[in-house]
Structure 1
Amino acid sequence: MQSNDSTEVPDVENQTPGPFDGPQWPHLAPRSTFLSVAVLMGTVVVAASFVNGLVLVVSLRYKKLRSPLNYILVNLAVADLMVTFFGSTVSFSNNVNGYFIMGKAVCKFEGFMVSLTGIVGLWSLAILAFERYIVICKPMGDFRFQQKHAVIGCSFTWVWSLIWTTPPLFGWSSYVPEGLRTSCGPNWYTGGSNNNSYVLMLFVTCFVMPLSMIIFSYGNLLVTLRAVAAQQKESETTQRAEREVTRMVIAMVMAFLICWLPYTTFALVVAINKDIVIQPTLASMPSYFSKTATVYNPIIYVFMNKQFRNCMLTMMCCGRNPFSTEDESSASGSSTAGRTEISSVSAGGSSKVTPA
């Protein structure tokens, strides 16, 4: 395995300064493009810090939220905060200046940390889907999801991510400036089997595999819910619950694809076909756009969770949820709130589905 430790990306124009030497405008793109990206990253930093920080604060304040099923949501918030701190803030500073002002060492560190925490967040979504499948569809019968299972799931996301993000630090590919050269990531720009093999492995292990788990888990969940709803065609509550869960699942899958599909597609296409020419601005967009997931991930996966939402509103409104007539202790429901519950009545052979 040959080392490819270069952090230099071939110049688009002969007179372009190196990514660590000076502003890349107007060589790669107009200054307005860099400033526009800086505004985007600045907005992401503020919004992601607020919503993910709120998740952690609410989780720490309310013990009822520390159930095993909520561990992965906290894990997701931690990963998103780290992406924001190590990635979005660095990108904001670099785009204001027009180049990677912090040097090669920080470039490698940023590329590693953003890849590490980004993949942790990505796999957290897959583990979350699988946990819901296990608990709701009950493929293992009366299996009880406990704290040790939640810890194993969270630990897996970090260990698996480390396995696939440390190789570029030791010679299997490398971390280099990408796109507008104001952020760093895995080297999918330059040719050679060393880089190509890594990009292909990353594509399979950190995109195809979690996406397959998400589709499998939510697919089975929808099949189960539709079967229950079909048995209760007269129940408006059941039909409404089935529609709500279907919309939520579609939103989750679409958000995953919108966040990660452009980035992985760009990387895979360029890794396979080195003759293709992609403008730096266009090449940088998937990377920056994926960082926006740190804002909408908690909105979709946490704030749509009734238990989290009620506790958050109670905390922000000084002890009372203005949108609920229930008392705080009952508003959050059981330890498995925030999911759709399916129960069977053995005597009558009927089933019931209700939104948590």
Structure 2
Amino acid sequence: MDTVSLSVNGVSFTEAAVTKISEAAAAAAEAAAAADAPDDPFTGPIKALAPWNFTFLAVLMFVVTTLSLGENFLVMFVTFKYKQLRQPLNYIIVNLAIADFLVSLTGGFISFLTNARGYFFLGTWACVLEGFAVTFFGIVALWSLAVLSFERFFVICRPLGNIRLRGKHAMLGLIFVWTFSFIWTFPPVLGWNSYTVSKIGTTCEPNWYSTNMVDHSYIITFFITCFILPLGVIIFCYSKLLQKLKKVSHGRLATARKPERQVTRMVVAMIVAFMVGWTPYAAFSIVVTACPTIQLDPRVGAIPAFFSKTATVYNPVIYVFMNKQVVCVCVCVCVCVCVCDVNPNNKLMSLTVVSQHIRFLHKVPRKCLIQLFTGKGTIPESHLNQTSERPGITAESQTGEMSAIAARIPEGGLRSGEDPPSDCSSFPQLPIPENKVCPM
């Protein structure tokens, strides 16, 4: 068989050799093109990131999601179980717990699964649904914090005089939160911006990186309505609240100013928690929108989104578990104290009674403890002193510090010539309306 030879610079090549060289060159070109092409987050993980990065994020989201689901479910459970907690000022607290629970159930759980696989394996439509759900429930939680601050301002400062916060007012607040949040999170589904996969490839979010001016207009509007506006409401309401407390407690003894200091610390914690949870996310969105071509490490771009998800863990701690009333019933539920035997009507006990229950546990024999924790035993009345030496503790724990403070503030503040109370124990003697039970 004749072979065709090709001579290049005095070097002869057969036809087979030329074919092999051309195939090798084509394969090299394809490999180079594949290396330069962006990774598809729906088909595989980002090659530039080591697998341990996704493993770390999966573990982080598992811990955050587990804690958040447990805490927020406990809040919803005790509120459903004890009707005394179902007060108008607690509606927004339960709403916050529901929103945080849903954020963890959708975003947290899906984020754990996708990071465990290393990419968003659920597909494009699942990405849109996950991005919308996380953004929607997150904004519901964020605006719940703003409405909560306004309701506390309404109760303490009484801007409308004798008009009190009632159930219908609290329900209007809930309707506003869900409707307003839906209005500003659904447009990307309709085409004003879009929900797309993040740079790290395991979560979905609004398209911050778009160069389209229409998409930019949505991001700016979203930033104003869902961050600047609620932050302004929170700062205004809590600053007015602190001014009112400072004015009323002026001239009192140090013991009488203790509630003011407690509320001040909690207000500072609330504002700091809000800023820590949402400022990185908001700042990141504005920076990327202003400079859509900015080159960021995918891990850096993922930090704000994952950081905001941690708010679902510390929100219940700050806004719920600092409430003596809720802590009381949570102790009864978690420590398995035999509430049904001591209190068959399922009524709330004071912290004093609960602490007496707990102090009693180490004094009883092990057999009695087993009967107590299994619900087969009762706590003898002889071991419990139902009459507290400080009746103010019981009254205040039944309502919370904020409601007690609200009851102490007259319509026009502290009247001239009126002797300020010299002891906190005298405060609970004032009537506390039922609709002023407050989570603080």
TM-score by length of 2: 0.73
Which residue of structure 2 aligns with residue 19 of structure 1?
A: 41
Which residue of structure 2 aligns with residue 242 of structure 1?
A: 260
Aligned-partner Cα distance in 2 for 1:334–1:101: 49
Higher relative CO (Cα under 8 Å, sequence separation at least 6) belongs to: 1
1:108 to 114, 117, 128: 128
Which residue of structure 2 aligns with residue 185 of structure 1?
A: 205
Instruction: Give the secondary structure class of the aligned counterpart of 1:101.
Output: coil
Superposition deviation, residue 15 in structure 1: 4.3
What letter corresponds to residue 168 of structure 1 in structure 2? P
What letter corresponds to residue 31 of structure 1 in structure 2? P
Aligned-partner Cα distance in 1 for 2:103–2:244: 35
323 and 167 in structure 1: CA distance in 2 versus 1, 3 angstrom threshold: farther
Instruction: Give the secondary structure class of the aligned counterpart of 1:284.
Output: helix
TM-score by length of 1: 0.89
Contact 1:307-1:337 at 8 Å conserved across structures: no
Superposition deviation, residue 312 in structure 1: 1.4
Contact 1:112-1:185 at 8 Å conserved across structures: yes
Superposition deviation, residue 102 in structure 1: 0.4
Aligned-partner Cα distance in 2 for 1:326–1:274: 66
The range that moved more, 188-197 or 339-348, is 339-348
Which residue of structure 1 aligns with residue 170 of structure 2?
A: 150
Aligned-partner Cα distance in 2 for 1:160–1:87: 21
- Does residue 96 (structure 1) correspond to residue 116 (structure 2)? The answer is yes
Aligned-partner Cα distance in 1 for 2:355–2:310: 30
Which residue of structure 2 aligns with residue 9 of structure 1?
A: none
Superposition deviation, residue 230 in structure 1: 1.9
Q: Give CA deviations for 1:224-246 in whole Å, capped at 9, x if unaligned.
A: 111122231xx122222222111
Q: Residues 1-356 of structure 1 correspond to what in structure 2 (within 5 A)?
A: 14-24=36-46, 26-27=47-48, 29-232=49-252, 235-317=253-335, 318=337, 319=339, 321-322=354-355, 332-334=397-399, 340-341=405-406, 342-344=408-410, 346=415, 348-349=417-418
Q: Which has the larger radius of gyration?
A: 2
240 and 166 in structure 1: CA distance in 2 versus 1, 3 angstrom threshold: same
Contact 2:127-2:203 at 8 Å conserved across structures: yes
337 and 57 in structure 1: CA distance in 2 versus 1, 3 angstrom threshold: farther
Instruction: Give the secondary structure class of the aligned counterpart of 1:185.
Output: strand
Q: Give CA deviations for 1:252-307 in whole Å, capped at 9, x if unaligned.
A: 00000000000010001110122322211000110011011111001000101122
Instruction: Give the secondary structure class of the aligned counterpart of 2:36.
Output: coil
Q: What is the number of equivalent residue pairs in this alignment? A: 340
Aligned-partner Cα distance in 1 for 2:386–2:298: 53
Aligned-partner Cα distance in 2 for 1:215–1:202: 19
Q: Give CA deviations for 1:30-81 in whole Å, capped at 9, x if unaligned.
A: 2111111111100011100100000001001100000000000000000001
Aligned-partner Cα distance in 2 for 1:104–1:70: 38
What's the % identity of the aligned pairs?
41
Contact 1:222-1:246 at 8 Å conserved across structures: yes
Aligned-partner Cα distance in 2 for 1:312–1:348: 43
206 and 299 in structure 1: CA distance in 2 versus 1, 3 angstrom threshold: same
Superposition deviation, residue 343 in structure 1: 2.0
Aligned-partner Cα distance in 2 for 1:188–1:200: 10
Superposition deviation, residue 316 in structure 1: 2.4
Aligned-partner Cα distance in 2 for 1:129–1:203: 20
What is the RMSD computed on CA atoms of the aligned residues? 2.3
Q: Give CA deviations for 1:198-232 in whole Å, capped at 9, x if unaligned.
A: 10000000000000000000000111111122231
Aligned-partner Cα distance in 1 for 2:395–2:333: 15
